[in-house]
Structure 1
Amino acid sequence: MKIALLDSGIGLLAAAAAVRRLRPDAALVLTSDPDGMPWGPLTSEDIADRALACARAAAAHDPDALIVACNTASVHGLPVIREEFEHAFPVVGTVPAVKPAAAGGGPIAVWATPATTGSDYQRALIRDFADGVEATEVPCPGLADAVERADEAAVDAAIEAAAARTPRDVRAVVLGCTHYELVAERIRAAVQQPGLAPLVLHTSAGAVAAQALRRIGVRPDPGAAMSGDLTVLLSGREAGLPDAALTYAEGRLLASTAPAAQG
């Protein structure tokens, strides 16, 4: 089987690694858009256009499913991507895990990009799935860009600033940007308060990976023989994993299981 994943940048690594763990025999196609980054400041129409271009690049490799492993692309581009490709293969979007976070009780915080924080989309999620639970929207300016560049100092500064805007009594944090999952434990350490119960982080990578397998009628099989087949498309061009990807455990996992793709 072949699973494609789409993001503006390396935020797709977490979901790709989740697919690799669930089905080591799956071939992976990673399609991103370094030429057009960052997507956040673009208009909704431009984001949809760039996400659709990434999807078309992946579609040329005949995947069995496409994961839109990007919250911004899912908000603005999922309808047009599904309109063009759902007849050919399942398209799975990424939604912040507000519902499971709220089910565990509050208060909760939703960390997201400034463009997503306060958006009608995110507020509707909170209204529909966190009714009666105290939920705080926390904008995280610069964090996704810092993760993309693997700029350690900038990552720490952005996390520290967002943690300062997060209520001290939150029980759970929803990571509303796939890039944030790559630094999840650093976020946990910054938000966790002494003397309180362990903070719960709610991510999306595992859920979207499992959903993609369900959509193509395949069960998880972590013990399957490793495929190692990895195709990386950077604004449509075949390449290796970006250097920044290899600074994260998820990127190193993908690289270690696909040595031929990195030659």
Structure 2
Amino acid sequence: MDTRPIGYLDSGLGGLTAVRAALELLPNEDVVYVGDTARMPYGPRPQAEVLQFTRQIINFLLSQHVKAIVIACNTATAAALPQMQAEFDIPIFGVINAGVSAAAKITRQQKIGVIATEGTVKSNRYRDGLQKILPTATIHQIAAPKLVQLVEKNVTDPKYQKQVIAEQLAGFKTESLDTLILGCTHFPLLAPQIQAVIGPDVQLVDSGAATVLEVQKFLDQAEMRQFEPRLDGVNMQFYTTGAVEIFEQAATHWLNRQHSQVKHLALIADQLQLG
């Protein structure tokens, strides 16, 4: 058993969907989460820049003595995962492969859609991964950056949410999808609204939740999982490079936990530090 926390990183709030899944699947594991809200969105940024940001966050998480890291951001996974796994001597998980595996298992007619950021779509990591497993599958990808903004701005007006989602998913109207991969960890926070627009017959895949299941299996095999309940509850540390108050409000809302305490990180000499 290893009582050290698990580290999560994302460009903003989206990775909280992975944390939310971890609260169910790994209820006794402490959490250290970094949301790089000052520099989001990652989707339109060059790959080299996303790689640099990811490395900075991982270095900070290592300073917090985490035992494993989840890159809970599809764009960062696409841009940086193999290199980060090569650079750092710690288990690092990305969210794309788990999403690919989950979709391949549940698709009925091999007609799969992917909604993601621009960077993830351009990387074709979902498409290529699916085609390796399902060579005859039909795969349609759409970049949906406005959905990220709905989450980051904590927009809760259901009518406006539906309008934006319908606009972003309009490219699927002529496609007979049976499975839709939510290829950005922000999107599961809008899953009911996305389901209402895409239709009840399309199965949604939450890549973040699928990744946490992989982390659970790894921790069990490595005998690193924390099984004993904490008398004082799970310790959750949140950090953001952006506005602390906005992050606190959103984290409290999305995780349904009162008084999520968030600290600010500043970029000093190419390193993230408390500031």
When structure 1 is superposed on structure 2, of 117-126 and 137-146 the one drifting more is 117-126
Which residue number corresponds to residue 184 of structure 1? Answer: 191
After TM superposition, give the deviation of residue 174 of structure 1 in Å. 0.8
d(CA) in 1 for partners of 2:60, 2:246: 15
- 1:22-56 CA-partner distances (Å, limit 9, x unpaired): 22221100012112111112111110111111111
Structure 2: unaligned runs, 5 residues or longer:
264-275
2:50 touches 2:76 (CA, 8 Å); kept in 1?
Answer: yes
After TM superposition, give the deviation of residue 128 of structure 1 in Å. 1.5
Structure 2 matches for 1:17-166, cutoff 5 A?
17-85=20-88, 87=89, 89-95=90-96, 97-103=99-105, 104-106=107-109, 107-152=111-156, 155-166=161-172
d(CA) in 2 for partners of 1:52, 1:239: 25
2:248 touches 2:262 (CA, 8 Å); kept in 1?
Answer: no
Q: Residue 11 in 1 paired to residue 14 in 2? A: yes
d(CA) in 1 for partners of 2:208, 2:112: 19
Letter paired with 1:55: I
1:172 touches 1:200 (CA, 8 Å); kept in 2?
Answer: yes
**Count of residues in correspondence between the two structures:** 251
The two structures have a TM-score, normalised by structure 2, of 0.80
Structure 1: unaligned runs, 5 residues or longer:
none
The two structures have a TM-score, normalised by structure 1, of 0.83
Q: 1:200 to 1:218 in 2, by over 3 A?
A: farther
Q: Residue 228 in 1 paired to residue 230 in 2? A: no
d(CA) in 2 for partners of 1:16, 1:211: 14
Percent same amino acid among aligned pairs? Answer: 24
After TM superposition, give the deviation of residue 105 of structure 1 in Å. 2.6
Which residue number corresponds to residue 244 of structure 1? Answer: 250
Letter paired with 2:40: M
After TM superposition, give the deviation of residue 84 of structure 1 in Å. 3.2
Q: Residue 173 in 1 paired to residue 180 in 2? A: yes
After TM superposition, give the deviation of residue 218 of structure 1 in Å. 4.7
1:30 touches 1:231 (CA, 8 Å); kept in 2?
Answer: yes
After TM superposition, give the deviation of residue 119 of structure 1 in Å. 3.0
- Counterpart selection for 2:202 from 199, 221, 239: 199
Letter paired with 1:184: A
Runs of 4+ that moved beyond 6 A = 219-223, 236-240
d(CA) in 1 for partners of 2:66, 2:155: 33
1:232 touches 1:238 (CA, 8 Å); kept in 2?
Answer: no
After TM superposition, give the deviation of residue 109 of structure 1 in Å. 1.1
